[in-house]
């Protein structure tokens, strides 16, 4: 019997995400980002040179595209040559790392497998962060929240997504290029027309309680965005 993730669309009187049309500007500007990457229009990345990783990634899930084609063969990871070499991450930085970190997508492959070009785009290393393997792969954790977003887009048409990555002042690091390991990361789904907003937060630690569901990771969006 297949498990079904319930999708609830709720209405609220005010929404910080829809306060103005420039909502994303507070996350994608020269004060926050060392570099803003456009990724051929598929998603946008706010990149941090010190962390050698993304701070924010934003994109839109289109329900009419998500279930088209579904390319099964995944692309190869590749370095982002738009970033100066000294600030890039490499595939090899993650290999056999001491903290059991996966190469975790922010803009996930399963939402962009409707064409070879879009699928290739999300395998750029600037879209990848160190995610603990138990969080990244658990269908009731990060992977489950990604699936929830795809189901939501199929139901209501289009969903905007904002991913945030939280680094400490002295983060753990992996690999030859010393990639910063995030302390936590989060995902916001929102749609202005539907007055929809929902947020999920994950600490980047091993999951101890395997009985959790994605709702256990839900937080008030106001906790994440001021």
**Rounded to the nearest 10 degrees, how much is the dihedral formed by the CA atoms of 25, 112, 137, 8?**
70
Q: Residues 103-150: pLDDT tens digits? A: 999 999 999 999 999 999 999 999 999 999 999 999 999 999 999 999
CATH code for the domain of 76: 3.40.570.10
Number of folded domains that form the chain: 1
User: 11 in a domain, yes or no?
Assistant: no
User: 208 in a domain, yes or no?
Assistant: yes
User: 132 in a domain, yes or no?
Assistant: yes
User: 2 in a domain, yes or no?
Assistant: no
In this prediction, residue 226 has a pLDDT band, given cuts at 50, 70 and 90, of: low
User: 8 in a domain, yes or no?
Assistant: no
Listed residue (192, 225, 224, 155) closest to 8, CA to CA = 155
Contacts of 225 (CB under 8 A, 6+ apart): 16, 17, 188
Q: Residues 88-99: pLDDT tens digits? A: 999 999 999 999
In this prediction, residue 22 has a pLDDT band, given cuts at 50, 70 and 90, of: confident
pLDDT (0 to 100) of residue 1: 39
**19-33, 84-98, 208-222: which range is least confident on average?**
19-33
- End-to-end Cα, the chain, rounded Å: 42
**Containing structural domain, residue 154:** 16-223
User: 169 in a domain, yes or no?
Assistant: yes
């Amino acid at each position: 019997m297949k498990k079904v993730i319930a999708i609830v669309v709720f209405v609220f009187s005010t929404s910080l995400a829809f306060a103005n049309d420039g909502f994303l500007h507070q996350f994608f500007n020269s004060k926050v980002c060392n570099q803003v990457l456009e990724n051929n229009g598929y998603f946008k990345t706010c990149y941090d040179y010190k962390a050698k990783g993304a701070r924010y990634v934003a994109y839109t899930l289109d329900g009419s595209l998500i279930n088209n084609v579904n390319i099964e063969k995944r692309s190869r990871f590749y370095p982002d040559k738009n970033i100066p070499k000294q600030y890039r991450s490499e595939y090899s930085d993650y290999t056999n790392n001491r903290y059991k970190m996966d190469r975790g997508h922010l803009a996930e492959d399963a939402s962009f497998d409707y064409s070879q070009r879009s699928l290739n785009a999300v395998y750029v290393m600037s879209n990848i962060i160190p995610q603990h393997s138990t969080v990244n792969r658990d269908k009731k954790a990060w992977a489950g929240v990604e699936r929830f977003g795809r189901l939501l887009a199929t139901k209501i048409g289009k969903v905007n997504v904002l991913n945030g990555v939280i680094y400490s002042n002295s983060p753990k690091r992996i690999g030859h290029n010393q990639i910063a390991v995030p302390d936590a990361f989060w995902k916001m789904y929102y749609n202005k027309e539907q007055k929809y907003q929902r947020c999920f937060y994950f600490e980047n630690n091993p999951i101890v309680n395997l009985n959790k569901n994605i709702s256990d990771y839900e937080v008030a969006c106001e906790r994440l965005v001021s």
